[in-house]
Structure 1
Amino acid sequence: MEAGLDAGPETAVAAAPAAGPDTTLTGREKTAERLLAASARHSFDPDTELDWAAPFEEGKWFWPPELVSLYDTPLWKRMTPEQRIELSRHEAASLCATGIWFETILMQLLLRHTYDLDPTSGHVRYALTEIADECRHSQMFARAVTVMGTPTYRPSRLDHHLGRVLKSASTTPGSFTGTLLAEEILDWMQRLTFPDERVQPLVRGITRIHVVEESRHIRYAREELSRQMTAAPRWEIELTRLTAAQTGRVVARALISPRVYASVGLDPAQAVAAARTSPHRREVMTQSAKRLMDFLAEIGLVRGPSRRMWRASGLLA
């Protein structure tokens, strides 16, 4: 990785604020201008920042072992060290391909959000900047899958169609909730990955770029969702509670394709059951979403029947 990325600003990696943004249009514009300035200072071109030609290092993981879906299960303990690393390679590729799917949906949601807004506003200009970031990220993830030499893991047919419904019919607060679900869960995992010297340098470089740039996207989405929740009618809030919880279930199960297990010689049904019943995996998923779930509860999106749905997704303890 180029020195410019290693010297990247720590402020750019900082997590988004918990809550309490200025809910006025002036506040929205102030946030946008700050994020536009940060984007101008700290945006990266993965094609030049990363060494795509470097060979993978023998014995290094493609994802931290503690974040691999079968870690600490009886099945994991029967796997060889080589098989575990190979599973990490396929799971990293699955996360990259799923990330492309998430970001394709996100870009369409952002364009829908800006359609009726002033195109000269800072808020819309930042949305377009974020879309440009997501285009680069999707290209980066696609190149990573190619370099890792795995199949292209896609969501199930059901989840693919549910994504189509989300990007076409979501409420505005639902759109930003879905955005945060896809971004914050992966952000938590990637913050553990990029400093981890056990992990392949290319994967660490990819995750660092993503964390730096996604930190701005998370701030933008959190503050806009808070504004939307103060103005949305009651019916829209109630609908968003249910659709957001359902989106959480889709996001959680789509991260790792069951096909990865067959690729490393495991029985997919047995492996899926092992991951689903793993206390360690449950803890990883709840920890990855904890900060987000606290925020969603604070703004009123985790109440009533939706709470049971959030628990069923594995994202809420």
Structure 2
Amino acid sequence: MAISTSRPQARNQSSDDGVARRLLDSSAQLSYDPLTEVDWDTPLDTDFHGASPEWSTLYGTAYWNEMTDAQRKALTRQEAASVASTGIWFEMILQQMVLRDIYAKDPTDDTFQWALTEIADECRHSIMFARGAKKLGAPAYRPHRVAVELGRFFKTVAFGEAAYAAILVAEEVLDVMQRDWMRDERVVPFVRTINNIHVVEESRHMKFARDETRKHLARAGRLRRRIHAVLIAVAAYVIVTSMVNRKVYANAGLDEERAVREAKANEHHKSMMRASCSGLMEFLSSVGLLTRPALFFYRRAHLI
């Protein structure tokens, strides 16, 4: 992060600090406490979906057409819980990267204070997702061990634009699908509230991630850009392919092997993912991070 240390008073903003100040003001005006905003007490109504059915990994497949309405709803509840669990996993990575980035920097700067505000948001979101997954009747879905170890490596080595662009990738993908879920009356009300909270607060995080990515890239050489472009793409691939755990199918009462097979071949879901990432891909292209090697991983993840 570029931080000004020359201003004598907070009101004498540097241009780098202006975005952070606006985000702090926005957070002060519009933030939520999930513990009081979400209806945690009403028992789960199984007549509702957990996510918009069009976002199900099986929607549009032969298996989906054979499923009963109750099975479809059970599946979307498990899938929503899996997405939430993946969100927790990445939010823990995000927090560590941001903390490392601001370590030993000027705590009086708005950028430093916004970074801590974002971390506080992510802590609340993780608790919210955890409680939401439990209420959906799902187990603790965890990414595959390889993904966990890759995440451990990434959070250790990623810095600058690699860290912030990867944060943006994870948040953008979730943002589009959750905007659909929060407006969908077929989705159980407490999940709609969770999605609304996340969309509102993550919009500030995405603004900050875009700004930080641009600022760091302004100081990056050609080789660093090319290396980080691939690192970000690999992170995107791991995140996206970890969103829906294969165990969701068995936990929804389905044939796991058949469901996995049909989900992998589901062109409808692939097109939904590509559409959700169109704005993200435009941004990555505009800052020079959509290189040919990086495109390989985005295509494998069906993001482009």
TM-score, L = length of structure 2:
0.94
Aligned residue among 66, 70, 85 for 1:82: 70
The alpha carbon displacement at 1:277 in A equals 1.1
The alpha carbon displacement at 1:58 in A equals 4.5
Runs of 4+ in structure 1 off by over 6 angstroms are none
Structure 1 counterpart of 2:232: 244
Tell me the C-alpha RMSD between the 2 structures: 1.3
Q: Secondary structure at the match of 2:277?
A: helix
The alpha carbon displacement at 1:24 in A equals 9.1
Aligned residue among 2, 25, 36 for 2:24: 36
Question: CA separation in 2, counterparts of 1:86 and 1:163?
Answer: 29
Which deviations, in whole Å up to 9, do the C-alpha atoms of 1:165-216 show, x marking residues without a partner? 1100113211011101110100001111111111111000000000010000
After superposition, where does 1:11-90 map in structure 2 within 5 Å?
Answer: 26-90=14-78
The alpha carbon displacement at 1:110 in A equals 0.4
Q: Secondary structure at the match of 1:231?
A: coil
Aligned AA for 1:78? E
Q: Secondary structure at the match of 1:180?
A: helix
Residue 270 (1) aligns with residue 258 (2) = yes
Structure 1 residues without counterparts, runs of 5 or longer: 1-22
Aligned residue among 222, 225, 229 for 2:213: 225
Residue 287 (1) aligns with residue 275 (2) = yes
Residue 119 (1) aligns with residue 107 (2) = yes
The alpha carbon displacement at 1:258 in A equals 0.4
Residue 168 (1) aligns with residue 160 (2) = no
Residue 253 (1) aligns with residue 244 (2) = no
Aligned AA for 1:169? V
Question: CA separation in 1, counterparts of 2:114 and 2:240?
Answer: 28
Aligned residue among 204, 217, 230 for 1:216: 204
Aligned AA for 2:216? Q
Residue 180 (1) aligns with residue 177 (2) = no
Which deviations, in whole Å up to 9, do the C-alpha atoms of 1:209-254 show, x marking residues without a partner? 0001000000000011011111112222111111111111101101
Q: Secondary structure at the match of 1:151?
A: coil
Stretch moving more, 184-193 or 109-118: 109-118
Tell me, yes or no, if the aligned pair for 1:70 and 1:76 is still in contact at 8 Å. Answer: yes
Question: CA separation in 2, counterparts of 1:203 and 1:277?
Answer: 28
Question: CA separation in 1, counterparts of 2:108 and 2:183?
Answer: 39
Which deviations, in whole Å up to 9, do the C-alpha atoms of 1:3-62 show, x marking residues without a partner? xxxxxxxxxxxxxxxxxxxx9962221101000000111111111111111123352211
Aligned-pair identity in percent equals: 43
Structure 2 counterpart of 1:141: 129
Question: CA separation in 2, counterparts of 1:41 and 1:281?
Answer: 36
